[in-house]
Structure 1
Amino acid sequence: MAVISSLLMIGADKSAEIEAQSIKVCNMLALVAIPVIAVNLLFQYSIVDMSAQLSFTFWLIVASLFGVTIGFNAICLHDLAKVWVISVFSLYVTFTCLFLYGIETGFCWLLLLAYPIGFLFWPEKNSTLRFSLFCITTLFFALNMVVEAKPLFTLDQSQQYLMNISVFFTSIVIQILASKQFIDGMMRYKSRLEVQANMDSLTGIYNRNFFEDELQTKLREKGTDQYHSLLILDIDYFKEINDNYGHAAGDDALREIVRRVNSAMPTEGLFGRFGGDEFCLFWLSSSSTQAMRVAQHVISAVNLPKETQVRDFHVRVSAGMTTDSKRRNLVRLFNAADNALYFAKRNGRGQLAIEQDGHLDLVKTRLEVVDTPFVSVQ
């Protein structure tokens, strides 16, 4: 499987996502065609008087032509590779239909596969290459219908029936594999886009939009006896970290805060970055006392001194919290926690404040920091 995956990726690893998927479909068609044609020839060898040497020679020529497709993609001639693989397929079908078994076998209907595959190769709305490919395929189809050639083998009715079955299953296999390859790739691409749309690229946690959507869902689904809590954290003196130590140190501080909160937050909590140095944490508790313990545990974990990867400095946060068992709309919820945050900042920073029923209180005094060699940014 690793070898097949590597062959499919030839030429696709340096391309944009949608183009990469079409390149992998192109490589897959070339690779699949080789064993499929071999199986077809073995089947045809079993029902007609075709020599083994002729069958092998014919397969070797066709397989070599399909193999050229991989070579074109390897040197980044992707459009040429796509046109080539369809052209070789059309030549193979036309030659087999006209000169080996005759039009009665229905072999020419395999050419219809080129039309849906053309959309997999060039999915954009207006594609001159796709239109050109359709014209080439239509020309080959017309040749099969118009040219009167004497086939090498004359098939009776039962042999023609078996050949029709061969054509049917060949078309099914090729179409399913090509479509599956493209769809699987696009689903992976869609998943990555969803992650990028919902997550903060620097810290790997939810961004503001997705956090608010998930928070709204949690509020609708929570039980009436559950307390919902929102905690807003803001890094103290974050501007000084960036100014004195550089933005790399600031990024490292943000990631360190996220790591610490993740290690201390409830399993079912929501954690997101609201931009800059501000983070939000939401969770459900059975009581306001339990909610308070969670908040204190998170703030204590965040404000413990620890060496960061970029610089030796201590990072602390101020935090504002609101908790209630009643349902609230998002604006009121965020306003309450935000008011508590700025109350904590106005009264010394590095601590937690709570808003309850319009009243603001400090949960505990400024968190004490043990003596360490780290440089304070204050």
Structure 2
Amino acid sequence: MAFIKRFFPSLSYLDPASEQAFRHYIVESTRHTMQRLVWVCVALLLVFNFSDMLLGDNWFSLNNLTRLAIVVILLSYLPFTRHLNADSYLQGWLLVCAIVILLLTVTSYAAAQYFGQLGEGGTMIVAIALTAIPIFNVQQKILLWLLLYASLAFLKYCTQTDTGWTLFYLAITILLCFSWQRQLDILLRSQFKAVRLETEKAETDQLTGLLNRRSFEQRLQEKLKALTPDQQLSLGLLDIDFFKRYNDHYGHLDGDLVLVHISRLLSQDPALLVVRFGGEEFILVEQHPRGAVPTLLNLPQQLFEQAHPHITSPFGVVTASIGVVTLSYPATHASSGELMHLADTLLYRAKEQGRNQAQHQYLG
């Protein structure tokens, strides 16, 4: 099995989650390319029809009618693709391509009957054209190539069609296209992996591994848009109490270790969006059922119970204060600046009232 996987980069180059993300990325980034490719195919099919007309064929020949059927299918399906998600988009085009191959087989049969023999060029162009489709990986293209080869084999052995050397040249073309497509699959995934790694570096705080301030705005907007009527969103701004005193007494190295320790505590809940805002401040975003108490309000107590020594603090241990603002659906009217300002005001209030506590307010 491992030996077979080596031939298919989509099974071996990335982990399953990354491969799924790559498929979605390649679909979304090539939608316009697919549209242009469809229009090019439509134009070529119509050009072939007109050229056959000039050579004495008529509009109602099997050859021309089959090409027109392909044009109708492509142009009818194209508008529906705008509203499909990545998986449905991919599966839909795979089905359409299979239907087009079967119709092209009929075209090949009609051409062979008209000219007395099937030429090699047409089927080789189809095989190469399949390679140009950007959304399919090598396994999916192998299925389409095999369908094309099987269709021509059917014409050769189940009809009176003279295919000449078509099957031989088509097999060579498919092998060459397979080799090229496999290298392309590796190259595209390598590029995706490198871009993703650089993006993660740019969006991640090097010390704590948390998201940094740069990535906060986009993630918050995604959560605001994803909010449903039965949910609320809470944003908290957390600050470590007397952290300057800690650094001055224990040293900056121990201060960094405290930041890492608190980051791990905050990241225990995978449902929380945790961002290092800067210094000893953290932003936390939580989606929770409507009317439920935000778990962000429990963070000061959880940190206090960790009992990490801090002898220059009046509490004797490392503590934190947090300001939490909660808003309900619809949340698209709220700006990140407004939420952060209110959370900062609540955080300041928590510090004024003795620290090691949470201040909470509902917005609207």
Which TM-score band applies after superposition, normalised by the shorter structure? 0.3 to 0.5
Q: TM-score, normalization: structure 2?
A: 0.47
Q: TM-score, normalization: structure 1?
A: 0.46
